[in-house]
Homo-oligomer: A and B are copies of this chain.
């Protein structure tokens, strides 16, 4: 089963990468860019086939390693 995790900075936390992308898009001539946020996504292929257990494992992975929960939010999706 594939687990897809999105990790992004919480709203209100300054996102310098997003800001840099926004500025670069502006320099390239793209108009009408209101806001840009950048995050990461992680695709984990696990042997576990039980969706509940896979989600539970993914939650633990996010809390322990993948996300810094002080400043980041995470979202878990399962590819059944």
Contact = CB atoms under 8 A, between A and B. Distances in A.
Interface of A: 6, 8, 18, 21, 24-25, 28, 30-48, 57, 60-61, 64-66
Given A33-B45, A38-B40, 16 more contacts: A8-B43, A21-B42, A28-B65, A31-B47, A32-B47, A32-B48, A34-B46, A35-B44, A35-B45, A36-B43, A37-B42, A39-B40, A39-B42, A39-B43, A40-B40, A41-B41
A73 to B, nearest CB: 12
Given A21-B66, A38-B40, A39-B40, A32 B46 contact: yes
A35 B42 CA distance: 10
